[in-house]
A and B are shown apart, each in its own frame.
Chain A
Amino acid sequence: KNQVEQSPQSLIILEGKNCTLQCNYTVSPFSNLRWYKQDTGRGPVSLTIMTFSENTKSNGRYTATLDADTKQSSLHITASQLSDSASYICVVSVGNSGYALNFGKGTSLLVTP
């Protein structure tokens, strides 16, 4: 069964601190992995997308890593800002079924002053 597990479920950090969110998956065959940021009451916004051969990808203060061997990904947020408070969703695509996406339940991040 294809599954995407994210941890922690929620996280509170002080403004300016760094944090790392985790995503473990059992999706097979793997196509790509995407991280999205979803503000409350809004649709998800793409942060990064990585294929099998990519180990790391950055988007400003967001850096995603991928270990296809262990089927793990992480999203590192540097120098957090209050606006980073949101839900971060890991989405893994199945390789041979076109549009099949497997969503994690997300990590709810709260950045406090």
Chain B
Amino acid sequence: GAVVSQHPSWVICKSGTSVKIECRSLDFQATTMFWYRQFPKQSLMLMATSNEGSKATYEQGVEKDKFLINHASLTLSTLTVTSAHPEDSSFYICSAEFGANYGYTFGSGTRLTVV
């Protein structure tokens, strides 16, 4: 089946540093991937749509200069949280659609803690 691998599963970083999160589609090509943010006991909130070979599309209110997205290949999208602050601490999840009948496959998520 379709697998989306997300790495790292958790990361702790100091304020002001940058953190990169990787999202890979292991056995299929994903022209489009999606990045979500999830706060405790809340639903997933779409941050941006990552398009292979072109600029990402950001949702309203998401700072594109703070959350840098790169989708350089059909199997890899990265999210870089730049100059991280404690309020950026959250659970970040990526996803991709394997096919119309399979739904969206999600990565296992990355727990980011900024101290």
Contacts and interface: CB of A to CB of B under 8 A. Distances in A.
Interface string B34-51: 100000011110100100
Q: Is the interface of B mostly helix, strand, loop or mixed?
A: strand
Residue among A44, A46, A103 facing the most chain B CB atoms (10 A cut-off)? A44
B97 interface: yes
Nearest to A108: B41
Given A45-B106, A49-B101, A104 B43 contact: yes
Given A46-B104, A49-B102, A49-B103, A101 B6 contact: no
Interface residues of B, number: 25
A42 B109 contact: yes
Nearest to A44: B106
* Chain A interface extent, by class: 10 to 19
Contact of B93 (A43, A91, A99, A108): A43
A105 B103 contact: no
Interface of A: 32, 34, 36, 41-46, 49, 89, 91, 99, 101, 103-106, 108
